[in-house]
Structures are given as C-alpha cells and as structure tokens.
Amino acid sequence: MADTAPASSSTLTITQPDDWHLHFRDGDMLAMTVPATARVFKRAIVMPNLAPPVTTVAQAEAYRQRILAHVPEGMDFEPLMALYLTQDTSVQDVREAAQNPNIIGYKLYPAGATTNSSAGVRAVDAMGPVLETMQEFGVPLLVHGEVTEPEIDIFDREKVFIDRYLAPITQRYSRLKVILEHITTKDAVEFVTEAHELVAATLTPQHLLMNRNDLLVGGVHVHNYCLPVLKRRTHQEALQQAAISGNKKFFLGTDSAPHVQAKKETACGCAGCFSAFTAIELYAEAFAQLDALDKLEGFASHFGADFYGRPRNTKKIQLQRDIWQAPATVTHNGETWVPYWAGRDLQWQVVMAGA
C-alpha cells in the first residue's frame, strides 16, 4: 500500500511532517526562523551550536522558551532540544538530560567541523563513560559525521569518520540510538543500511536535489555551500534511492541553516543552506523528480517519529501541484537572506497546514 494518499493528480495530502534536524539561531532571528518552520512542521529538533553552545538542560530550557515565544498564535509547534556534547560533558549531565522530556539527545560535533563547532569533541575515543551512560538511559547520539584533520580531503571526511569512529561506536554500544545527520555519500547509506536497527540517518533537500556540480560549475555558488559539502552525482543518486526506498532508517532533516546575505557572499562563504521557507515543497520536488511521491509521507511524517519513539502526528497537510517560485530573498529587521532554491520554480506548494 502506498505511504502517501493523494486526493487527486493535482493535490497531495500527507500526515503533518516533522523536521528532525535544523538551526533556528537565536535573538532577533527567531522571529523569522521559527514561523518559517512552524507553518508546516509539528516538531523540530533544534541544534545547539549557538555561541556560546547549549550544553546544559537549564540552557536548553531557556532557549526553548525563547523559541516558543515566536510561535505564531494558533500554530501547534513543539521544539525538541539537542544538547551540545563537549569533552567536558559528564555522566551526571547525561542523567539529568534523560529526565527531561524536552531534551531529545546529545549532538556530537567534531571540533571545527562546521558553524560554531569549536567547542566540539576533540577526542571521540575518550567519550566512553558518557556514551555508556547515554546507552543506559536511552539518550540518543546525533552525529555530525566528519573528521576535521586538514590532511583528509574534504570529500572523504564523512567516510573516514564512519570508518574511524562511527563503526566502532555502533559496535561497542549496540543499544545506543545513533543518528548520522545530513548524510552525503553512498558510503553512509550503506553503513546505515547494514548497521543494527538503532542506527538511522537524516537527509536534507539540498543533498537530494544537488551534487557538487551545482556548487562548482560556472563559478562557486555560495548559497549551495553546506557542510558536509555536496558530493558527486553517484553519491547523490544513492541518497535519492535511500530516501524513496521505504527503509525506516532514513527520514527528513532539513539542516536549514540561515546566514545573512552579507556574510554568506564573502570570502568566508559560511556553510549552510537556508531551506525553511520551502522545506516540504523542496522534498516534494525531489520525490516528484524520482516519480516517488507515494513514498514522501513515510519519509517526512512517520519514520523519524517512530525512530525517536514519539507518537505520529494526527493532523494533515495538503500540497497542490502549482508551479510557483521560491522567494529570491527574505528580509527581516533590515537584513537580507537568500534562501535555498532562491527564485527557482517548484512544482508543489502547501495550501493547507496542520488541519
């Protein structure tokens, strides 16, 4: 039976989806980023790489309240908070996190791997007591899976991390839930597929819709630059097949990551694709291109909730087949952002959300 039940060839109705990986940032930006996600998604896992990072339950609860203050009236949205794993995270920290229903898990950033990751883990091998406690108390480990040694080619960093660190972790802690975030390679697909049942992965719209040609051909396209970086077409095709496979280990996580235009279009570049304004429409675009819209609901609305042990949503959203253009820019408080897929056509648009 198909996962998705379209009402007709021009409409598509699915269970309200969740975003199992995104960045809201903080401060004034929340007034822009939170409504963009809450318009469609019921829940979202909020990344903790603020400056300073969110490392304690108290900090996460305070951040959660700042997020909730920007949920538009009438929208039912639940932020789920990830804590930032550091070399100084203690066993007691994990026990406290396990008692709080608003904490979804710990995020492992290798130090220096991405935006605001300088406080990340410097020695994965030394995290044994913390990982053992996470396994004991059922606290998931969310992983940015890249090594950061400068001698490792940037296109190989995900595979090296899997071989060097993630495979041993999943073997040693076989009762620990591990989510390999925003996977980018065929190697990651194969690893997750073959690993035990408590290993899963999130997939972003940009890694489904693009490959490294879209980043580098005809000049560097900075708004397609993210980390892990886009890979070659063969890897993109492996991700696409994983997304539409119906395998419950693969589910939606946008990794939406806003950077103001003035900083994105500089020598820095700033890694991140800001997809929140068109997120579910971008996934519909990818699944439509693969003639697999019947697989969208499981990927977007069911598998992540099942993996994290959360109830599936009961409300529905409806998309309509209608060619429209993603916004070219978004302006907030006098600053401008260029969202992912800016100014390009999309085939499907949300016409009813959370009903």
Binding positions for substrate:
23-25, 49, 144, 227, 259, 271
236-263 exposure pattern, b = at least 16 Cβ within 10 A, e = fewer: bebbbebbbbebebbbbbbbbbbbbbee
**Which one from 3, 18, 19, 255 is the annotated catalytic residue?**
255
**Annotated binding-site ranges for Zn(2+):** 21, 23, 107, 144, 182, 255
Task: Give the chain's radius of gyration (CA, Å).
Answer: 19
Q: Containing H/E element for 3?
A: none
Alpha-carbon distance 110 to 122, whole Å? 6
Tracing tokens 């993109």 back to the chain, one arrives at 236
Residue 19 annotated among the catalytic residues of the structure = no
Angle at which helix 91-98 crosses helix 57-68, to 10 degrees, equals: 40
**Annotated binding-site ranges:** 21, 23-25, 49, 107, 144, 182, 227, 255, 259, 271
Please write down the long-range contacts of 121-125, taking CB distance under 8 Å and 24 or more positions apart: 121/85, 121/86, 121/87, 122/87, 123/87, 124/165, 124/169, 125/165
Mind telling me the catalytic residues?
Answer: 255
